[in-house]
Amino acid sequence: MTTTRPRSATSAPAVPAVAEPSVAGSVVLYRLYDVGYEIQLDQAQDLLGLPRGERGSLRPPGPPRAESQAIRIENPPITISLAAERVTLSSDRVARSAQVSARIFDFGVVSLRVRVATPGMLAWQAYSALGNALALAPEIQAVFDRHLRDLTTRIRPAVVRPEIATIVEDYVVYRIDRLTDAAGTALPPSSLRDVDVVPLLLDESRPLSAEARQELLPYWFSYYVDDLAILTWNNALVVEPLGSDSDVELVLEFANAQLLELRYYDALLDAELPRMYDRIASARRGRGRWIFGHSYADLLAAIQTLVADSTEIVERAENSLKVTDDVYLARVHAAALDLFRGRAWRRGLDHKLAIIRQAYGMLNAEAMARRSELLEGVIILLIAIEIVLALVVGRH
């Protein structure tokens, strides 16, 4: 396994003029949605008419790389093919075939995918133009919207607390199955240069500086001499001659699902913190109910539920995919999470959960102190009553 990075700014040689390569492959567009707290996958299988125990193939049969056995999935998602579509982009009015499929994760995420295959071999510039046009096309978004409505309607009884979040993750994988020169001779992926991939992955037509290329294209991976994976924040280029090898796409899809859950619960806590402070202030004003311990009880229960739900689902998402050993896919997965700033999102989430836990502890201690004061008052009152009764009885 090798890991390559763009050349340093001080050593980058001039780019020689070479013939434009041709490619055959596809453009795979992803939209990932949080549709509820949890999805009961067995029930969803029944609703989708899939046999129990069969959730669709995560990867085509017979993984080509022994190291891909390092992938461990705790609760495999449902994989289902949804429909064949004809997509016509307004930019060129060309109708293209597209295959729509989905993955349904137990932690409440639905990943929709639209795959558009190249019409035979395309020149590199034409492939870049097609990929950029598809990534921005409103016609593609309309396909996603329609299939999201249809799919969530079908599986709604299996979704716990169903609600489609406004936060959405989108990603594009440019999959190249064949790379050749003008004469049709196969080219190794190493023949691709920074100036080739910049228009495709960064949608930049002007040449970038060496410093910018190194900053924006830091992750280049290859395992065999005929494969390559380049990762960026918004998309990835995957060169893989074996059609049965989709492990890199699988790892990237899981990483995007994990990012979505981190972003969703981070935004949820951002919205809940001000409301929590308002409810605390309101509870403290409600002295009458508060004296009997009711005013804080509902608030404490709500805070405890929020912390438990956020912690459980985020940890389930993060543990949904395990790539064991320090191998190719583990490096790809780690690089994707690094690009997506997964650790930073998790630190922010943990910080907000810590604030909420502190508030819970403070309120709980305050409520217990007030109850203790109330009990002490009751005891004093009972003692006073006994003394008064004793005095009254003694006089008679």
Per-residue pLDDT for 57 more than 60?
A: no
Band of pLDDT at residue 69, cut at 50, 70 and 90: low
CA torsion angle 349 166 334 56 (round to 10):
130
Residues 364-384, mean pLDDT to the nearest whole number: 75
pLDDT of residue 283: 64
Could you read off the pLDDT of 267-279 as tens digits, one per residue? Answer: 888 887 777 777 6
pLDDT of residue 347: 84
pLDDT of residue 14: 43
Q: Which amino acid is at 67?
A: E
Distance CA 199, CA 85 (A): 27
Rounded to the nearest integer, the mean pLDDT of the chain is 82
Q: Is the whole-model pTM more than 0.95?
A: no
Per-residue pLDDT for 8 more than 80?
A: no
- Contact between 257 and 111 under an 8 Å Cβ cutoff? The reply is yes
pLDDT of residue 11: 34
Per-residue pLDDT for 204 more than 90?
A: no
Per-residue pLDDT for 231 more than 80?
A: yes
pLDDT of residue 4: 46
Residues 96-112, mean pLDDT to the nearest whole number: 95
Closest Cα to residue 127, out of 55, 183, 179? 179
- Contact between 154 and 48 under an 8 Å Cβ cutoff? The reply is yes
Per-residue pLDDT for 185 more than 80?
A: yes
Q: Choose from 17-26, 113-122, 212-221, 238-247 the range with maximum mean pLDDT.
A: 113-122
pLDDT of residue 15: 44
Listed range (58-72, 77-91, 310-324) with the worst mean pLDDT? 58-72
Per-residue pLDDT for 13 more than 70?
A: no
**Tokens in use for 247?**
């492990």
pLDDT of residue 350: 83
Per-residue pLDDT for 66 more than 80?
A: no
pLDDT of residue 6: 40
Per-residue pLDDT for 86 more than 50?
A: yes
Residues 248-257, mean pLDDT to the nearest whole number: 93
- Contact between 329 and 248 under an 8 Å Cβ cutoff? The reply is yes
Distance CA 165, CA 261 (A): 10
Neighbours of 163 (CB within 10 A): 11
Per-residue pLDDT for 352 more than 90?
A: no
DSSP string computed for 256-306: HHHHHHHHHHHHHHHHHHHHHHHHHHHHHH-HHHHHTTHHHHHHHHHHHHH
Per-residue pLDDT for 332 more than 60?
A: yes
Band of pLDDT at residue 364, cut at 50, 70 and 90: low
Q: Which has more confidence, 385 or 146?
A: 146
